[in-house]
Chains A and B, each alone.
Chain A
Amino acid sequence: MRTLFKPKQSKTYSNHALSIKMGSVSCALRCQDNEIYDKLQRLYHDFLTDEPTDVTIEMKPVNRLSPEDLSTALSTTRYKHKGNRIRTTSRIMRGQYDLARRTITITGERSLVDPNMESNHLNQLLTAAYYSACKIKYDSRPPAMLVHACGILRNGHALVFTGPSDAGKSTIARLCGERHGEVINDEMLLMSRPSPGGNSITIQSAPIIGDLLPGRNTAAPLRCILLLKQSNKTALHYLDKVAAHLRFMRQIISPVCIGQKDKRSVYSMIADFSAEVTGAIPVYELEFNLDEKSLWQITGELEGVQGREEWN
């Protein structure tokens, strides 16, 4: 027996396209591979939206390489860009884009978009999609930038712990548990520019995979930024504005949209954003010895001090 009427479907789930909310933009991921599509739907569940799409990524997974061969290929892969086409030297991925039509088409190894695989490139894909959507929607000046950081929601405010890889961001998330706050994300956050004339900055979760999977889509005002430094003690130092600017700048994810060629404008955007943020919000260096008790004790003291006097 044939079904005469198709079941009514939400726009988000139709045509194998997931519309994912990232801050103030929406990026649609379209994938005809049922298994990958289902995984992505579960992974980004809390970020799905019915809002109009700013950019659509058509993913065409192919299975040509074994995981071992892919791992080898990744280590030597270089990305090349010609006209509106992108390819890799190892042929693991190729793509083309048409920003006027807001579409990016990527054909690549299936593992690159499989959330269960270690070699997945979903974070890079969404990062490029976010900045491409911002270029279309805001003429290259994103209202929020992606920052390599772990965000903890405590007492209605976000604490941002940032620093180089292995500085302890995931450890902070693990030590947070459910007792000391809520982990917004342990890998990347969306940080807004300071509000006009004020020092209010908003932290928003991003659909980014870290050691933890993306949690709920939430936002909170930023209390302060803590730059992590591994140490044999736990101690906090206020950073002057120049040191804060120079060190925070390195933690901002390069705002490279698809087809971006002008490196100077990318670094200019990073430096401008860092100067804006560190000019508005206190930045501290947190020497950290992985001790849970002293970490939350010193964080609590900082929260108590802020608003009355500067910590030093």
Chain B
Amino acid sequence: MTSGAARVEDAIWHRIGDRVVVIRNDGRATHVLNKTAAFIWDICEDGCGIDEIAKQLCDRFDVSFEEAHADVREIIEELVRAGIMKQIKKTTGRAS
């Protein structure tokens, strides 16, 4: 098992250009996600492990795995604090 993240179920969101606008609490809270956070949002629809997100980020952008991993962790912590994502435990899929 590894840590990961998933979107909260009641968020309302729209993709506008390369950004994502997330609305919660009956419209009282709005969050605009930048390109990287929007990328993480996209792949966390059904929940995703941090390692997997970092790997996909490396495939998409010119960044090392370590750097991507640190960024993903930081962004997810921020999105969790904002109440639009939740931390989950995710199976790695690797044989033990």
Contacts and interface: CB of A to CB of B under 8 A. Distances in A.
B27 interface: yes
B16 interface: yes
B23 A272 contact: no
How would you classify the secondary structure of chain B's contact residues: helix, strand, loop or mixed? Answer: strand
Nearest to A276: B14
Given A242-B32, A264-B10, A271 B16 contact: no
Interface residues of A, number: 15
Contacts of A271: 12, 14, 21, 23, 27
Given A264-B12, A271-B12, A271-B14, A249 B32 contact: no
Contacts of A241: 16-17
Interface in B4-19: 10, 12, 14, 16-17, 19
B30 interface: yes
B26 interface: yes
Interface in A269-297: 270-272, 275, 279
Contacts of A21: none
B30 A246 contact: yes
Contacts of A249: 23, 27
A246 B21 contact: yes
Contacts of B27: 249, 267, 270-271
Interface in A241-281: 241-242, 245-246, 249, 263-264, 266-268, 270-272, 275, 279
A242 B17 CA distance: 8
A271 to B, nearest CB: 5
Contacts of B16: 241-242, 245, 275, 279
Contacts of B32: 242, 246
A51 to B, nearest CB: 34
A246 B28 CA distance: 11
B30 A275 contact: no
Q: Which of B12, B14, B19 has the most CB of A within 10 A?
A: B14
B21 A245 contact: yes
Contacts of A246: 21, 30, 32
Interface in A205-228: none
Contacts of A268: 12
Contacts of B30: 246
Nearest to B15: A275
B27 to A, nearest CB: 5
Contacts of A267: 12, 23, 26-27
A289 to B, nearest CB: 29
Interface in B27-67: 27, 30, 32
A242 B12 contact: no
Given A246-B30, A249-B27, A275-B14, 16 more contacts: A242-B19, A242-B21, A242-B32, A246-B21, A246-B32, A264-B10, A264-B12, A264-B26, A267-B12, A267-B23, A271-B14, A271-B21, A271-B27, A275-B16, A275-B21, A279-B16
24 contacts: A241-B17, A242-B16, A242-B17, A242-B19, A242-B21, A242-B32, A245-B14, A246-B30, A249-B23, A249-B27, A263-B26, A266-B26, A267-B12, A267-B23, A267-B27, A268-B12, A270-B27, A271-B14, A271-B21, A271-B27, A272-B14, A275-B14, A275-B16, A279-B16
Interface of A: 241-242, 245-246, 249, 263-264, 266-268, 270-272, 275, 279
